[in-house]
Amino acid sequence: MCTCITYKNQGSFYFGRNLDLEYSFDEQVVITPRNYNFDFHDGTMSFKHPAMIGMATVVNGYPLYAEAVNESGLCMAGLNFPGAAKYLEEKEGMHNVAPFEFIPWLLCQCHTVEEAKDLLQHTNLVAVNFSEQLPAAPLHWMISDENSSIVVEPMEDGLHVYDNPYGVMTNNPPFYYHLYNMNNYMHLSAENAVNRMDEQLPLKTYAEGMGAIGLPGDSSSASRFVLAAFLKAKAVCENSEECNISEFFHILNKVAMVKGSVVTGSGHFDITTYSCCVNVKEGIYYYVTYDNQNVEAVHMHHEDLEGDSVVSYPLVKKMTIHNQN
């Protein structure tokens, strides 16, 4: 399970997510410079492309991204989509792309969501594994820039692309359900509740926050979608880097997994292994981990982006406590 969001505030733009898993996948913050050579499944090669930063596991020098942002401002994250994701056989006349390479394949070629939408019209996600030990994960993706977001879902009848007015994505059911389900919550408000039942009845509020009674708080994907969309819509923050980052992580914290609260079908605990927030324009990747709530940062533009090898930063997982006395 995972939750992905965007956040805009007076010209500042952020993209990030919670990654919820029962295990670690040796994830690291990875910067791929412009001259790293991607050799894609469809036979194309990319020698010169926008640099990108995100969370990935690196296998034999290859970055397997969970999410990434390129220096043009295009963002992309893959989220779990079991039971619904379907990768197809190769099709003639299409870009036949393996799921493990989908993020860099698209971020190497596109600078905006509109460019991505054009490319996706001729894209087919195929059932190709990275290796026998690393089979293709069942995923769907959110792609965003400063102006818009879309959701891409590979299903039995092909690739579905949805406009995403919320800039929020979670997991199953398919995205069309989440779009329709939001209609059930149009009454939610950050203001005090108003008696609309019967003016003759002595009904009144007795606590703050009653305007949002009915806002879900469980860990299901449908509930996390509604909660994240509501919190994002109501977020208020002065336009400073510190405030924006704090607000972003507060939203993600509200839809995070606390160890013990969700037990998977295999009997393990689902936890938010990490949360990230990327300042898209500055190329700064902020993250926290389950055991380290101190905000760590990796700056893409502090590296040599004309290089040809990925640069990796292991996660800082040990918390530092500041003692004031």
CA–CA distance from 257 to each of 56, 101, 224 (Å)? Answer: 21, 28, 11
- Which residues have C-beta within 8 Å of that of residue 247, sequence separation ≥ 6? 7, 9, 235, 237
List 2, 108, 110, 276, catalytic entry: 2
Expressed in angstroms, the distance from the first to the final Cα of the chain is 40
Given a contact cutoff of 8 angstroms between Cβ atoms, the answer to whether 125 and 87 are in contact is yes
Reference 53, options 42, 147, 36, 45; nearest CA is: 36
Query: Contacts by 237-244 with C-beta closer than 8 Å and gap 24+?
Result: 237/9, 239/9, 239/10, 239/11, 239/12, 241/12, 241/279, 244/7, 244/9, 244/12, 244/14, 244/279
Helix or strand or coil: residue 249?
helix
State yes or no: is 75 an active-site residue: no
* Radius of gyration of the chain, Cα coordinates, nearest whole angstrom: 20
Nearest by Cα to 141 from 187, 88, 76, 195: 76
Residue 101 to residue 97: CA distance in whole angstroms: 7
Residues that are catalytic: 2
